[in-house]
Amino acid sequence: MLQDIYQAIDALFPDMVEIRRYLHQYPELSFQEVKTAQYIAEYYDKLGIPYQKNVGGNGIVATLKGAKPGKTIALRADFDALPIQDEKDVPYKSKVDGVMHACGHDGHTATLLAVAKVMQAHQEELPGTLVFIHQHAEEYAPGGAKPMIEAGALDNVDAVLGTHLWATTPFGRIQTSKDVLMAGADRFEITIQGQGGHGAYPHETKDSIVIGSQLVSQLQQIVSRRIDPLETAVLTIGIFEAGNAFNIIADTARLVGTVRYLNTEIQDQVIHEMEKIIEGVSVANNCTYTFQYDKGYPPVKNHAAEAQLILDVSREIPEVETAEEIIPVMGGEDFAYYLLEKPGAYFFTGAQKEGNYYPHHHPRFDFDERAMPVAAKTLIGAYYAYQNK
């Protein structure tokens, strides 16, 4: 029966492409995905699959109960876009100025809707229950996963699975980890309050740009000189704002950045070291400061048994040439919250498009749409394999 389902997925490929390209043309930002949620809801209306909407915000949870007894497995797809101008020259280019699906969430949604349609057609032979979690706001912390879980999206679920169409991995590869797959991702903001003045009289000022520059330099030494080299961490300053004239010494500087880590002990150490450095530099320069550190998504830590199951079933899919374990990537994902609640695994489906080698979150991002059926088959295969555990 599984091969019949895989053939049905292949037959739905044109529909998947149509859905993905429609969503690509009409993207919506995190927490603003009203029309996208409505599109998903109308699709389930046509299928006759019951669903809840406005789950934890704009989320949708549909439930398909099989005719046979079995376990309840949740499959998750996100559907928000990014504040990026689409620069691709393709017929399905975004029609919303300054907003773009630059991470594949349109493809995730198309994949999960296709899975729902195929599995609904096999409902009489279906063991257990499938829960389709369509999640809003993955891209922007605090994210949509946590409020959806709090609203009951994982109630009575035995395991949860998800995939990311991975545009930097060649088509035909499935990648996962039996431990940490993706990093924890935090955000911080530092303001330096110095004392501005005339550019010709620096001795009468407390130059916030000079002070901020010292901070940038010293903060980089946390990873290079204070963290065990065998551990993993990233500290990046992404924003440095100060000044508005060439001959005025700025009194205020603003630094905003991110910290990435794989275990919470390193996270705690980075925060502690940052506090000491910021205070020390400020005292040395006789200025004041504010430091706000926001803990974001925790690391995506897979459960070993479910990750192995993904590897095993994907190797039986004809389009999959390689199913492999990989070291963690330093990107973040709020799928982490599902794995804190239930057994499960997250995996990457290779989707690199020939001739388009731009990374995720790039204005020219695109992916190989043939990866969508591969992702769908892997999720379905894992669902059946889990029923037989």
Secondary structure of 187-207 in the HEC alphabet? Answer: EEEEEEECECEECCCHHHCEC
Which contiguous run of DSSP H or E holds residue 60?
Answer: strand 59-65
Report yes or no: 338 and 74 within 8 Å, Cβ to Cβ: yes
Query: What gap in Å lies between CA 377 and CA 389, rounded to an integer?
Result: 18
294 noted as active-site residue: no
What angle, rounded to 10 degrees, do the helices at 105-121 and 2-11 form? Answer: 130
The one catalytic residue in 80, 158, 207, 366 is 80
138 noted as active-site residue: yes
Q: Is 135 exposed, middle or buried (0-12, 13-18, 19+ CB in 10 A)?
A: buried
First to last CA, the chain: 18
The one catalytic residue in 106, 138, 158, 186 is 138
Query: What gap in Å lies between CA 284 and CA 323, rounded to an integer?
Result: 54
* CA pseudo-torsion sign 6, 12, 17, 19: negative
Query: What gap in Å lies between CA 191 and CA 259, rounded to an integer?
Result: 17
Catalytic residue numbers, as ranges: 80, 138
